[in-house]
Amino acid sequence: MKITIRNNTRDDAGWIRDFLRPGGAEFIISRGRKLFPAELPGFHAIDHKGEKVGLATYEIVGDQCELVTIDAFVRHSGIGTELLAKVREVAQNAGCRRLWLITTNDNIEAIRFYQRRGMYFAMVHVNALEHSRTMKPSIPTVGFFNIPIRDEVEFEMILS
């Protein structure tokens, strides 16, 4: 699919919040921290009709860049790949040493996707979701393929 990648601006905050709300809140939990994607820098993808087809947000802290969210509204069309490449480029240009992210143990599609894009397992934070649910009780207990959502899986890519 031919897409255009645009920077998220303040004007995008509304639809980003609406998109995330079905998950139960405007924030996500990563390593015990609340992150508000609508307030973070990021990118969205637009198709040839001007429809939004993807979203990625990130946070740079020191020399590390966390990919906070990545969503392709149409799967297997190259949108996720382009968004990830864009975040990687920004991280590299900002002098980051490491690009990292958290996913959950049930997210087989994402675990496959990241490894195919050159990211590696950095750590598995066993049973981290128990703590996350104290901060966000709406996190479901069961995820993709009926797999209990239990662990945070940390992926990384060392940037040169």
List of residues contacting ligand COA (CB under 6 A): 70-72, 75-81, 103, 107, 109-110, 113, 116
Tokens of 131: 């703590």
Instruction: State the residue for tokens 């490491």.
Output: 98
Of 45 and 159, nearer to ligand COA (C-beta) is 45
Q: How far is the CB of 14 from ligand COA (least distance, A)?
A: 20
Q: Tell me how far CA of residue 143 lies from CA of 65, 109, 140, in angstroms.
A: 26, 12, 7
Closest by CA position to 146, among listed 111, 101, 105:
105
Of 83 and 96, nearer to ligand COA (C-beta) is 83
State which residue has the least CB distance to ligand COA: 80
Q: Tell me how far CA of residue 140 lies from CA of 24, 47, 130, in angstroms.
A: 10, 31, 11
Q: How far is the CB of 153 from ligand COA (least distance, A)?
A: 9
Of 76 and 131, nearer to ligand COA (C-beta) is 76
Q: How far is the CB of 108 from ligand COA (least distance, A)?
A: 10
Q: How far is the CB of 82 from ligand COA (least distance, A)?
A: 7
Of 59 and 71, nearer to ligand COA (C-beta) is 71
Q: Which residues contact 32 (CB under 8 A, 6 or more apart)?
A: 128, 131, 132, 135
Of 34 and 76, nearer to ligand COA (C-beta) is 76
Question: Please, what's the b/e burial string for 23-41 (b: 16 or more CB within 10 A of its CB; e: otherwise)?
Answer: eebbbbbbeeeebbbbbbb
Q: How far is the CB of 159 from ligand COA (least distance, A)?
A: 19
